[in-house]
Structure 1
Amino acid sequence: MSAATHLLSEEHFLCSICLDVFIAPVTIPCGHNFCKSCITENWRINRKCQCAVCKRPFDIRPELHVNTFISEIAAQYRQSAVKKASEDAKPGEVLCDVCTGIKLKALKSCLVCLASYCQTHLERHQMTPGLKGHKLVGPLDNLEDRICTNHDELMDRFCKTDQMCVCQFCTETDHESHDVVPLKEECDGKKTELEKTGAEFQQMIHERQLKVQELRQSVQLSKEAAHKEMANGVQVFTTLTQLVQTGLTELIEQVKRKQKTTAKQADDSIKELNQEISELRKRYAEVKQLERSDDHLHLLQMFSSLNASLLAKDQTKIILHQPSYEGTVARAVAQLKETLSRGTEKLLEAELRRVQQYAVDVTLDPDTAHPKLIVSDDGKQVNHGDVERNLPYNPQRFSCCVVVLGKQSLSSGRFYYEVEVKGKTKWDLGVVSASASRRGEITSCPETGFWTLQLRNGHEYVALADPDVLLSVKSRPQTVGMFVDYEEGLVSFYDAEAAGILYSFTGCSFTDKLYPFFSPCFNDGGDNSAPLRISGVYNKNY
């Protein structure tokens, strides 16, 4: 039966009245087939008993019986149509409004009839003269939303004044004086805007794809840097462990050597004493034998030789000197400390070399300088001039504190620069937040946006950390290195020549731009007249 359905076209299974697949088909005397309910209703409405196709009249109303053969074929076709519809119609697609039972996918929507049609039910619009003039468009859902609620007419215009869709009658009433254009014209303009918006979205997508790639590369670089740092750490601490183990081994060997030497001395003395004991026992036996002798002549002759043999060594002079272990551990620790100190110096030098890779060219910003400060023309040095100059007001200028900032700022990443402080007895160096106060007296600490280090009285180095931290410095730095890692929240000060670290602010939370901070302090009658000078570290090859 299913094979037969494939040999027949779709039109063989459609009722000429409802244009749908037969339901309870009947055959009338002229040979045409209809749904039983369709032909019955047709005769009732028209009050004529005639064929709906060929118009043949029947004097006597035919008795209608379901054609089982056609019914079975129609059922087969209906199942095939259901399967095809389930395959063709996808979720969200517009369905035919005329189909009963299983609805097929709509191919067109009529803006006049406000209905959507599948291929079969669209034929009436393509063949009937009165329907050919209707406006057919691609399948649309919710056609009722396109009808003006005030006039029950299709909204085919757009009011640019009120930014809304309207019908023809709306333009003659509420929107009579408004700027109204056809929907297509407005859509064309909106499509142009959409193209521009789409291009912007595409550009944004491209930018974000690049950012994703950049972040992935950053993660990879961070991963490689972390592995390198861990490898360096393992190497360093392995070396330190080996040094400690070597020091311990040498300490143990030294103690063992002392103990072995003492034991040998004792063994030699014991051996010698045992030999004397053996000789003395021999002489003792001779003495006892001579005591028992009745030969007076022999006794007297042997007596003097026995006395002579008694001249043995004085055993009281045999003394075993105990080795002194006092200070052995302390000396070993001191030697290890010296070795570690040399290793630490090399590590610090390597660390300084590493941060110097982020060296930048820093110049002073005269617009921020206190009126008593003199900034060189090249922006590389500053000193106190004693006399306050009459400068125009500038909100960026420090009004009370003798401070000047660098022009360069940092809001991400890392930077490093060096400042020569030779010949000075006082200075302040560091970084400051862009939003930190520059007017009036200033309390320098991280809470107010200042991360600074200062020298006072020529030898007191203090980190202004609130509370202040007095630093222990072996030698006076002649050049101070400044390193900042924005993301890590790190501000470090280095003795650039001794390759030693002076102090680090750690765990800082930066939310603003950071600027280099310089204060040469007061001249103090010429004792502190030397300038602060930014060195050209960025020109060196590290």
Structure 2
Amino acid sequence: MLINDNSVLCDFCVGSQHASHKVVTVQRGYNDMTYQLGQTEAKVQRMIQERMQKLQSTTESLIQSEPETKRMIENSTRDLTKLVSDIKKTQEELIKVVEETQKTAEEQAKGFITDIEKEISGLMETEKKLGELKEIKDQVCFLQRYPNQSLLPHTMDLSTYSFNRHLQVQHMHKSVTSSISQLLALLGKLNEKINRFSNSTDTSNEMALRYMRQYEVNIVLDPDTAHPMLSLSADGKQVWYNMGTGLWGHQSMVKPNMFTEHLAVVGRRGFSSCRFYFEVHVGQKTEWCLGVATASLQKTGAIIRSPSSGLWAIWFLLDKFETFSSPGESVYVGKVEHVGVFVDCDGGQVSFIDVVRAAPIYSFTECLFTEELYPYFNPCDNEYGSNLDPMIIVPISSTE
């Protein structure tokens, strides 16, 4: 028998100690509990499925947004560059107009001052003559000396002339300041939107990283493929450039599947028709190359850097990234210390993530994979400063 606190009772206890409690038969209790268990299990499965689908759609959206992001950056950079250029032209035009109007105003003022000074001289001369005439006390002589024409010289009408250049400058300054304030307000709104985009992007990037990390696989490097100038750790999790290895004098050491020119090594295990993910710590290295390669990737001699090489990798050099297939074309600027590599074999995508910032570095999309893919590591040589630190395959559990 069962009571409502899920305790199992015998018939004697039900009758003696729990007569007032609600009880059901063991069979009834079992049926009810198994039904509830089934319902809960189904709900949990639905919740898992919903979240898996949400994570998958988020990651796919992030990967698909790569070309849109590039176009957005190109268009925004072009438009903002044009805006800056237009502002500079407006500034130059403003300076030109203000200086020209100031020059014209100065010329007008100088002409007016010259005319006024002449009129003042004329009026002062007239004033003198009037004073002399006024001193004549003989009436006949006064009348004889009194001029027939107007006593006043010809002068300009001062009421028709107005010069208020300082007020014009003040008005122009007020108009320009008002326009600049409106422009600054618009830029402020743009910055607010950019900040909101930044916060939103950070959240979606973190979700995408969590989704990718669930496909973590165990990567172990294959020493038979390592270039003779590379050293591997005993557990196959680290690789670094060894300046003193010098195995080229021993031809017997060269193995059939070994890289002979590229300072590279691949993983032991290949992957196909699946998703997989791994993380690599590159620290402060100044140069390295990381990605995935086909089993048939050329290992003897130089690998041609083209989309058909069978290598989907990013190459870091000092402070910027380029893809192995497109040398000289920068795809990302900055330095990263911890890189995540996510591959969707069926979806034809290879993505590289800055794990520390949960930010995308670059994605290859619409790839056609016809062979198994092997993780590819190239720690590079010491040409660009100290670069002897290893590339380390790091399990996710050690970074969380």
TM-score by length of 1: 0.40
What CA distance in whole angstroms lies between the structure 1 residues aligned with 2:379 and 2:59? 39
What CA distance in whole angstroms lies between the structure 1 residues aligned with 2:59 and 2:350? 22
Q: Counterpart of 1:512 in structure 2: which amino acid? A: E
User: For residues 231 and 350 of structure 1, do their structure 2 counterparts lie closer, same or farther at Cα, with a shift above 3 Å needed?
Assistant: closer
2:284 to 398, 423, 429: 423
User: For residues 338 and 383 of structure 1, do their structure 2 counterparts lie closer, same or farther at Cα, with a shift above 3 Å needed?
Assistant: same
Give how far 1:444 is off.
3.4
Asked whether the equivalents of residues 344 and 350 of structure 2 are also in contact (C-alpha less than 8 Å), the reply is yes
Are residues 1:537 and 2:378 paired? no
Q: Deviations over 1:348-390 (max 9, x none)?
A: 1111111011111111110000011001111111111123223
1:524 to 378, 383, 391: 383
Matches for 1:233-248 after TM superposition, within 5 Å: none
Q: Deviations over 1:20-52 (max 9, x none)?
A: xxxxxxxxxxxxxxxxxxxxxxxxxxxxxxxxx
Give how far 1:436 is off.
1.3
What CA distance in whole angstroms lies between the structure 2 residues aligned with 1:374 and 1:427? 15
Q: Counterpart of 1:385 in structure 2: which amino acid? A: N
Q: Which residue of 2 aligns with 1:372?
A: 229
Matches for 1:258-273 after TM superposition, within 5 Å: none
User: For residues 487 and 332 of structure 1, do their structure 2 counterparts lie closer, same or farther at Cα, with a shift above 3 Å needed?
Assistant: same
What CA distance in whole angstroms lies between the structure 2 residues aligned with 1:399 and 1:231? 41
Instruction: Report the number of matched residues.
Output: 235
User: For residues 346 and 478 of structure 1, do their structure 2 counterparts lie closer, same or farther at Cα, with a shift above 3 Å needed?
Assistant: same
What CA distance in whole angstroms lies between the structure 1 residues aligned with 2:211 and 2:306? 28
Q: Which residue of 2 aligns with 1:16?
A: none
What CA distance in whole angstroms lies between the structure 2 residues aligned with 1:452 and 1:440? 18
Give how far 1:326 is off.
3.0
Q: Which residue of 2 aligns with 1:489?
A: 348
Q: Which residue of 1 aligns with 2:372?
A: 513
Asked whether the equivalents of residues 430 and 518 of structure 1 are also in contact (C-alpha less than 8 Å), the reply is yes
What CA distance in whole angstroms lies between the structure 2 residues aligned with 1:490 and 1:523? 31
Query: Secondary structure at the residue paired with 1:435?
Result: coil
Q: Counterpart of 2:202 in structure 1: which amino acid? A: E
Asked whether the equivalents of residues 383 and 531 of structure 1 are also in contact (C-alpha less than 8 Å), the reply is yes
- State which structure, 1 or 2, has the greater radius of gyration over its C-alpha atoms: 1
Q: Deviations over 1:127-175 (max 9, x none)?
A: xxxxxxxxxxxxxxxxxxxxxxxxxxxxxxxxxxxxxxxxxxxxxxxxx
Q: Counterpart of 2:233 in structure 1: which amino acid? A: S
1:452 to 313, 327, 340: 313
Asked whether the equivalents of residues 290 and 315 of structure 2 are also in contact (C-alpha less than 8 Å), the reply is yes
What CA distance in whole angstroms lies between the structure 2 residues aligned with 1:329 and 1:491? 39
2:363 to 504, 513, 521: 504
Q: Which residue of 1 aligns with 2:329?
A: 469
Unaligned runs of 5+ in 1: 1-220, 235-315
Q: Which residue of 1 aligns with 2:163?
A: none
Query: Secondary structure at the residue paired with 1:430?
Result: strand
Asked whether the equivalents of residues 445 and 451 of structure 1 are also in contact (C-alpha less than 8 Å), the reply is no
Q: Taking every aligned residue pair, what percent have the same amino acid on both sides?
A: 34
Q: Which residue of 2 aligns with 1:345?
A: 202
Are residues 1:381 and 2:241 paired? no
Q: Counterpart of 1:446 in structure 2: which amino acid? A: P
What CA distance in whole angstroms lies between the structure 1 residues aligned with 2:190 and 2:324? 35
Q: Deviations over 1:499-537 (max 9, x none)?
A: 100000000000001100001111238611111111112
Q: Which residue of 1 aligns with 2:265?
A: 404
Give how far 1:394 is off.
2.1
Asked whether the equivalents of residues 55 and 208 of structure 2 are also in contact (C-alpha less than 8 Å), the reply is no
Query: Secondary structure at the residue paired with 2:231?
Result: strand
Larger relative contact order (CA 8 Å, sep ≥ 6): 2
Unaligned runs of 5+ in 2: 1-47, 62-166
Let me know the Cα RMSD of the aligned residues.
Answer: 2.9
User: For residues 359 and 230 of structure 1, do their structure 2 counterparts lie closer, same or farther at Cα, with a shift above 3 Å needed?
Assistant: closer
Q: Counterpart of 2:293 in structure 1: which amino acid? A: V
User: For residues 425 and 396 of structure 1, do their structure 2 counterparts lie closer, same or farther at Cα, with a shift above 3 Å needed?
Assistant: same
Q: Counterpart of 1:360 in structure 2: which amino acid? A: V
Asked whether the equivalents of residues 370 and 398 of structure 1 are also in contact (C-alpha less than 8 Å), the reply is yes
